[in-house]
Structure 1
Amino acid sequence: MEKYKPNDKFNNFSISAETTQAVCYLARGIAHDLNNLLAAVAGYCELAIEEAEEGRPPKRRLGLALEAANRAKEKVRQLQTFGRQEKTEAKPFDLNRTILQAVPNFKRNLPREFELNTELDPKIEALLGDQAQIRLLLVKLAAHAGKTLGHPGKVTFSSRVLVDNDFPSLPFATRQSEKYVLISLNYPGIELSSQSRQHIFEPYHPLKETGGNTGLNLALAWGITKAHGGEIFFSCSKEGESLFSIYLPGIQLKDLAANEADPNHAPAGQKGRQILWVDTNTKTKNLAEQLLSSEEYQFVGHASIDRALAVHEKSWRNIGLLVLDFNQLEEEGFRAIENILKTNSRAKIMLTCPYAALDRAKPLLNKGVSEVLKRPFLKADLLTKIRTLMDG
């Protein structure tokens, strides 16, 4: 395995880090613009599908258009992850179990001449982070490894708690935690040039050794690692041994205690399940009622903010979330938000807002509003935001 002295290693990665940061900014801008456009396309497709006649060609074609828009949104989501725009949902989770869950997906695509092993440290109690994102990180590393396999041999996923003796030899200078966990993927891969190694985490960087490029897999892995306060490194030897090393901050007891004490992480069912929805658009309101009622939320809809305020003042203890129309709020000077918070200072408020008014709506996130949902909205986006706000 190729070795670097600490200073040499930092120098070798400095160019790549600067370039990657620049690509991050570009990815953020592209993702932001595309996401807004796709949200409108997909949202209007869903509304049109609701109105189209069953079995008619237009409905089927709209379904195909919506499917394509959703595939495009997935690509944008990957760009957002790489650009570190996606927020990680930090909860304690079992790292070793997460690794074991990712292994079968890799094993199915592994040629028979390769043997897949796991070497998991039983001393790892838990990590604090987004389990789904860490699982995606492992899947993306495995996807890249599957495209760059060399001679037949062993492929090994491993985990290890780092001890004090390990810290002097860490390949990075700044530590964000007193504890670290090391995740490794070791496999027989093709030898990569120094140029390829320096740009390995950049999206779609050409790899002359394979005739292809890096795609988004490793860029996503890099983004997820950074979002968790970790570091990721790649090395390879002339003998054909390739190694990904991911260093993640280990869980601290105080972090775990704070997480368990956070009221936003209370189990479902301990909060008000009623959603008070205010909207003058009857179609949007009916669609939301149909969708949320199927999720066992109690939906209460009103067209008037004044009427909704009266309901909230009388029975605020039963209301878990208020969904308000931004246009109505803007017309009455946003006084409704102040009144709601006077009645219940911990009220959760989500605004539905047209794309053109987003810039005017976002400052309200610092004035008591919990979330802003773009209109027209996708069913999946609505449910995700509702579940996050209602269930923690």
Structure 2
Amino acid sequence: MKSLDRLFLQLPFRPNEITHVSTAAGVVPVLVVELSASPGRQELFLIPVSGEFGQGQSPDFATLPVALMRLSASGQIQEVNRMAQELLGGPVAADTTLDQLMLGLGRPIPDWLKEAVDAKTAPRSEFLRLVSRDREVFVQVTLCPVLQGGQIGLVAVLNDATELKTLEAQFVQSQKMQAVGQLAGGVAHDFNNLLTAISGHCDLLLLRHDQGDPEYGDLVQIHQNANRAAALVGQLLAFSRKQTLRPEILDLRDTLSDLIHLLNRLVGEKVTLTLSHDPVLKAVRADKRQLEQVLMNLVVNARDAMPKGGEIRIETEVVSLQEPLERDRATIPVGEYVTVRVRDEGVGIEPDRLQKIFEPFYTTKRTGEGTGLGLSTVYGIVKQTGGFIFVDSVPGKGSEFTVYLPAFHGRDAESAQMPAAEEVPTSKHGEGVVLLVEDEAPVRAFASRALRLRGYTVLEADSAEDALRLLEDPDLTVDVFVTDVVMPGLDGPTWVRQALTARPQVRVVFVSGYSEGAFGEADADIPNSVFLPKPFSLNQLTETVHRQLH
């Protein structure tokens, strides 16, 4: 605006008084605040006002319809109007400075105030967090220099930015959880390859030592600790939702009934465990072993939150949603769900920790008391099962974890069951030709030796391309393909489909450090194929091949 007479209906105007200006919406009353004045230049701040004010009148600063504060150049708060007090949560004590009221600028607030007073740049908003509130409240603060009695001061315009910052934090959190999940899945895949080689070669050594051998105990220790490491890797895969699930139709009343004796031992004598079931509880489709892991982890966390004892309640209920339920960062679709609530009377969780509670390696326990993978494992299993999990907590009163699982509505529950493969205690000798395709040399070395020990003829290839070149020989007979899923170049399902066009009778065993679903539906159209997750033992490998051939 180059000419004030095109804006103001009457000149001259007076700072800190009401005047009327022309806008696209018509004539409106505004409060005129002079930001700065210099030869040939004048900066004004116009604040729309409501109510009946005549030309030249000054409204009461306290009643302005904008949240405002008057500050000295040093940041001392001189006046706070009514709307600002509502935003700040009440009156501000005398002699309070801005840095005592707000935090989170990322640099000293006095430096920001000095920049605003010097008016070196245009007014810029900053997002700050209020101090000493029972919940997080964010405000957008814009500082404008003004002339007050010949001295430069500041007017702070406040806007409630809590919803905006909450949405931003939720987005950042979801991105972080996704990134950490991808990292966890990748790390778990690499560790599973290492553990397959370690435990596999340990199996080979155990075959050559009896229990009276001095080294036998050491080998058993290596094997047991490799299995413990595999369990931790399984928790990482659970969080990243890349583990192999064996879903079956479950009645949670039966699942909890089978588990209650173990849970009672876990909680100890000082804690009472109480169950409450919905009388018309619906079935769910889930991996029983993993669902038991979810319940045990939640109960153990509840127990740890009550060092002096108390009651843990586990409640099941059928919930029917007629419209989508939006909560935290999730939206639960319309449908019928079975909910499991685990409630304790413990110390509770601070609000600033609730957002991080499902992150891997995040724990409130002392060093050595936990891995920080318990709740992240619960989160991953529930999400991979198609469910949702939420937490409510009041510090000093307790916490409640609520799990939503989709109710199962299949006609024949038995037909939908997918029981886990049966474990066979001893491995049989076999005969046949196995084409082993594995890019990890230690894993390939163990697998080939294990299969040869059981009587199989083994052909090795370190890539899919090498395997296809071997199969170009029409005189070569192969009975089983044992192949990794994820490899450089062609992946397992891709090269197997190509090979089966000329050899449709060959059986297939896919192995991977990822889960069975890591390659989507790529193996769905591959006949006579099974999946063996890493890390696998000598017996598990040879028995899987034996079952494929027989």
What TM-score do you get using the length of structure 1 for normalisation?
0.70
**What residue is the counterpart of 1:145 in the other structure?**
302
Per-residue deviation at 1:162? 0.6
Change (3 A) 1:242 1:74: same
Change (3 A) 1:126 1:141: same
- The aligned amino acid for 2:327 is P
Query: Which of 85, 90, 113 lines up with 2:247 in the alignment?
Result: 90
**What residue is the counterpart of 2:338 in the other structure?**
181
For 1:37 and 1:13, locate their aligned partners in 2 and report how far apart those are by CA, in whole Å: 36
Per-residue deviation at 1:246? 0.4
Equivalent pair of 2:430/2:546 in contact (CA under 8 Å): no
**What residue is the counterpart of 2:225 in the other structure?**
68
For 1:206 and 1:114, locate their aligned partners in 2 and report how far apart those are by CA, in whole Å: 22
Per-residue deviation at 1:130? 1.0
- The aligned amino acid for 1:284 is A
Equivalent pair of 1:277/1:324 in contact (CA under 8 Å): no
**What residue is the counterpart of 1:163 in the other structure?**
320
**What residue is the counterpart of 2:361 in the other structure?**
204
- The aligned amino acid for 2:392 is S
Q: For 2:279, what is the secondary structure of its paired residue?
A: coil
Alignment of 1:1-392 (within 5 A): 11=167, 14-52=171-209, 55-149=212-306, 152-164=309-321, 171=327, 174-176=331-333, 178-207=335-364, 215-238=372-395, 240-253=397-410, 260=415, 277-279=432-434, 284-285=450-451, 287-288=453-454, 323-324=480-481, 337-341=500-504, 343=505, 348-350=507-509, 365=523, 368=526, 370-371=529-530, 377-379=536-538, 381-382=540-541
Per-residue deviation at 1:94? 1.6
For 2:207 and 2:180, locate their aligned partners in 1 and report how far apart those are by CA, in whole Å: 39
What RMSD over aligned residues (CA atoms) do the two structures have, in Å? Answer: 4.6
Change (3 A) 1:54 1:307: farther
- The aligned amino acid for 1:368 is I
Change (3 A) 1:279 1:9: same
Cα deviation, 1:115-139, whole Å, max 9, x if unaligned, reads 2110011312311121111111111
For 1:156 and 1:387, locate their aligned partners in 2 and report how far apart those are by CA, in whole Å: 47
- The aligned amino acid for 1:338 is T
Equivalent pair of 1:90/1:128 in contact (CA under 8 Å): yes
Question: Which one has the largest radius of gyration?
Answer: 2
Equivalent pair of 1:206/1:214 in contact (CA under 8 Å): yes
Equivalent pair of 1:120/1:160 in contact (CA under 8 Å): yes
Change (3 A) 1:162 1:246: same
For 1:340 and 1:31, locate their aligned partners in 2 and report how far apart those are by CA, in whole Å: 34
Per-residue deviation at 1:44? 0.9
- The aligned amino acid for 1:246 is V
- The aligned amino acid for 2:310 is G
**What residue is the counterpart of 2:64 in the other structure?**
none
Equivalent pair of 2:350/2:395 in contact (CA under 8 Å): no
Change (3 A) 1:197 1:91: same
Per-residue deviation at 1:27? 1.0
For 2:341 and 2:186, locate their aligned partners in 1 and report how far apart those are by CA, in whole Å: 32
- The aligned amino acid for 1:190 is V
Per-residue deviation at 1:101? 2.5
- The aligned amino acid for 2:500 is I
Q: For 1:57, what is the secondary structure of its paired residue?
A: coil
Per-residue deviation at 1:249? 1.0
For 2:507 and 2:408, locate their aligned partners in 1 and report how far apart those are by CA, in whole Å: 29
Q: For 1:234, what is the secondary structure of its paired residue?
A: strand
Q: For 1:251, what is the secondary structure of its paired residue?
A: coil
Instruction: Give the structure with the larger strand fraction.
Output: 2
For 1:283 and 1:324, locate their aligned partners in 2 and report how far apart those are by CA, in whole Å: 16
Per-residue deviation at 1:376? 9.4
Equivalent pair of 1:150/1:240 in contact (CA under 8 Å): no
Equivalent pair of 2:271/2:310 in contact (CA under 8 Å): yes
Cα deviation, 1:275-298, whole Å, max 9, x if unaligned, reads 874249995336557xxxxxxxxx
For 1:32 and 1:10, locate their aligned partners in 2 and report how far apart those are by CA, in whole Å: 34
Instruction: Give the number of the structure with larger relative contact order, counting CA–CA contacts within 8 Å between residues 6 or more apart.
Output: 1
Change (3 A) 1:363 1:265: closer
Q: Unaligned stretches of 5+ in structure 2?
A: 1-133, 137-162, 423-428, 436-446, 460-470, 485-491, 514-518
Q: For 2:340, what is the secondary structure of its paired residue?
A: strand
Equivalent pair of 2:350/2:394 in contact (CA under 8 Å): no
Change (3 A) 1:363 1:161: closer
For 1:388 and 1:136, locate their aligned partners in 2 and report how far apart those are by CA, in whole Å: 29
What TM-score do you get using the length of structure 2 for normalisation?
0.52
Cα deviation, 1:144-163, whole Å, max 9, x if unaligned, reads 11211266432111110013
Change (3 A) 1:104 1:128: same
Per-residue deviation at 1:337? 3.1
Per-residue deviation at 1:227? 0.2
For 2:296 and 2:546, locate their aligned partners in 1 and report how far apart those are by CA, in whole Å: 26
Per-residue deviation at 1:9? 12
Equivalent pair of 2:248/2:416 in contact (CA under 8 Å): no
For 2:340 and 2:534, locate their aligned partners in 1 and report how far apart those are by CA, in whole Å: 41
Cα deviation, 1:337-389, whole Å, max 9, x if unaligned, reads 33442x5xxx7522679x9xxxxx99995883734669995136437967998
Change (3 A) 1:261 1:230: closer
Change (3 A) 1:29 1:64: same
Q: For 1:117, what is the secondary structure of its paired residue?
A: strand
Kindly tell me the number of residue pairs found equivalent between the two proteins.
342
- The aligned amino acid for 1:234 is V
For 2:319 and 2:521, locate their aligned partners in 1 and report how far apart those are by CA, in whole Å: 43
Cα deviation, 1:89-111, whole Å, max 9, x if unaligned, reads 22212222112233322211324
For 1:9 and 1:98, locate their aligned partners in 2 and report how far apart those are by CA, in whole Å: 42
